[in-house]
Structure 1
């Protein structure tokens, strides 16, 4: 088992990474606050793993909420199903919510935990690669709005994160590739050595070698935990974790949530961020080429949808959470493993990059 701590003082919590950890309830039950438990999952994951989880919760009063699967259902309306169940089952402030699913389930369960009776505890059990290395770690929770992704939410840290690598055995290849976008991101923004390691092992990682996958998840979580510990609420450095995301969120919003997976949109957005970094003279073409190659080897798209146009991109990017005082701030690279938050890219330069990538005028 691999184990690390996300250091946030009194809100610190452990991240456990191992195959089969879900079945070791004796190790993680201590992170359940009281006798009441509400499991939040979706209609894809619940048939696979819900019964296995409930076996570890004997002696607890357990209820469950099964959400429809997909980014399209990450809405306030669907979120109410969680509140309805908690109220109907008379859950009190000592209840613990457990998110059993990917990023959508984790974000919605965490947001419900942040809101219910002004805050209750929850546990993350991510079932996708993307949620293991990114969304389950760091306390960002929320839902989408038709006008913008993740614009309604709260920071709310879990009690612990259980990354059971066995749960990835049922993950479709497309979802696995989507998760690799976030893994590659860590190498690009803050860990050049990890990026080189990924280049060396990408073939075996895509074949889901368990030992290499365990190391990739661990090193990704170490990198994210370090950044979050420094800047929990994204007042500064934490924004670097959003490499490619401003472009990517525009793609997701324009194409309809779920038509492009989050990681796919981040992959294409990362390629755009690399190109813009080169255009500014901050990044070498060699590093850009290495990044594009690794994204491609991971099965990710490196070009935005051709049906989008520049005006649409700029409009949606202008609604991003990183816009500050009317200035669009982007995460760009000044070298391999060196990311900055910058508002120096002009609209004209961004337009040039979008047009070169095949976006319509």
Structure 2
């Protein structure tokens, strides 16, 4: 990604915009390697969109993430300006995003096609991203999503060619094992990729997915998950909005503490055979500080502490466990 010699990066952003001919197209040609193939705005702040790489499909394991980027020279949907824009304008604002799943390859997914129309990650020409608009807050000025908000189908952007992350379901070697997926907001993205792949490849054990978001409109995969429930008797989807006036306010920690019983789940939350996958708000996950002799959990009760007290074990790179969690946020 070499910047054309005709672009003088030592000038201010305002000078660059007013004095360098075709600035945007020159920088875009230098940096961008993918195209937005679809862009569904569920609300003004919640989007699902596809990214198609120039060099063809990218191989990945369901649950992994990639990086997306747009130039700081691109327009924003808000009036915020980065404090360092005069030194950053010729660079990319980047962010990591877990790869989600379109779940189905047919539009009539409410008809029961079994596994025939479940999306296979290796067959996808583009990857699906679930994103929300991040607004400025005090001195914090987000770089990427206010620029993504200006984009449409056919627009260009940067996508990292190497997928990364060890948050995946490869540790599940028993097709009858109970699996629990817990997520908040966009943390549902990698869960959907893993759940679809598990169902597609014949997992017969119970799978439960619990998702919280502020409003019903923020729960972007409800309709498709209901279709999955109808097809697969072993799959249960529990969407929980936390800010709807007619819905009891509950968080995932409440669900795990109070509702994860054999009577309500239909199976025992048994650490000897159950895997739990957790992705989303760090407060919900609640990973302990392990810098001392003993792990110290956060003051705010998280899912990790609840599960550890029930005999589960955090999954670590050199110390496998059955609480799997996403490590970036």
Tell me the TM-score range normalised by the shorter chain: under 0.3
**TM-score (structure 2 length as normaliser):** 0.28
When Rg is computed on C-alpha atoms for both structures, the one with the higher figure is 2
Report the structure, 1 or 2, having the larger helix content: 1
**TM-score (structure 1 length as normaliser):** 0.26
